[in-house]
């Protein structure tokens, strides 16, 4: 019963972590292209709390991803023996997902943009705008790959623990 409660706590905590990731990510990408947030995300250019609106936008766009990651990884974590092992490996797998989403977003920034005839009206810096779009897309791909890597991490830790348990000498 405690394992299910721990999984539920993680599933409830994951959207908060995912939302905080999105708020920080959007603060960073706002430096690259403020136009993206004004034109696409609907942040008011005249707002006295523009940064706060960008953070709210990031949170509202990623908390659901955190919920999905937390649900999948939290349920896979039920296979582990012991509450501390379950919590530790589930949190590690979630952090792996966030890490890979970040790595992919950075790759999205550095990978050259494909030549495109597509132009966005009323956007000052077209290249910066497209970079932020590409970073967001790459981060989503990284999150999916990260979730799969997190599942793989769970499986690897579970198997290694099981193998270790089976190779220990039996007590007399």
pLDDT digits (tens, 9 = 90+) for 125-143: 888 888 898 999 999 999 9
Residue pointed to by tokens 């979630």: 94
pLDDT at 151: 96
Does residue 172 register a pLDDT over 60?
Answer: no
- The whole-angstrom separation of Cα 100 and Cα 36 is 23
Alpha carbon of residue 47 to chain centroid = 28
Greatest alpha-carbon span in the chain: 78
Q: What is the pTM of this model?
A: 0.83
pLDDT digits (tens, 9 = 90+) for 39-98: 888 877 777 888 899 999 999 999 999 999 999 999 999 998 889 999 999 999 999 999
| Crossing angle (nearest 10°) for helices 50-76 and 126-167 | 30
Query: How far does the chain reach from its first CA to its final CA, in angstroms?
Result: 31
Residue pointed to by tokens 């290694």: 160
The residue among 79 and 169 whose pLDDT is bigger is 79
The long-range contacts involving 124-129, CB below 8 angstroms and separated by at least 24 positions, are: 124/35, 125/33, 125/35, 128/32, 128/33, 128/35, 129/33, 129/35, 129/36, 129/39
């Amino acid at each position: 019963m405690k394992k299910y409660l721990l999984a539920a706590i993680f599933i409830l905590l994951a959207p908060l972590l995912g939302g905080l990731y999105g708020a920080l990510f959007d603060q960073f990408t706002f430096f690259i292209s403020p136009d993206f947030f004004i034109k696409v995300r609907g942040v008011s250019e005249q707002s006295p709390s523009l940064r706060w609106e960008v953070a709210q936008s990031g949170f509202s766009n990623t908390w659901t991803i955190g919920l999905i990651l937390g649900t999948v990884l939290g349920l896979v974590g039920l296979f582990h023996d012991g509450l501390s092992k379950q919590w530790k490996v589930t949190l590690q797998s979630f952090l792996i997902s966030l890490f890979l989403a970040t790595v992919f977003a950075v790759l999205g920034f550095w990978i050259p943009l494909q030549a495109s005839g597509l132009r966005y009206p009323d956007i000052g810096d077209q290249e910066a705008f497209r970079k932020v779009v590409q970073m967001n897309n790459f981060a989503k791909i990284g999150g999916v790959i990260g979730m799969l890597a997190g599942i793989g991490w769970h499986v690897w830790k579970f198997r290694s623990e099981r193998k270790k348990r089976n190779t220990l000498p039996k007590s007399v």
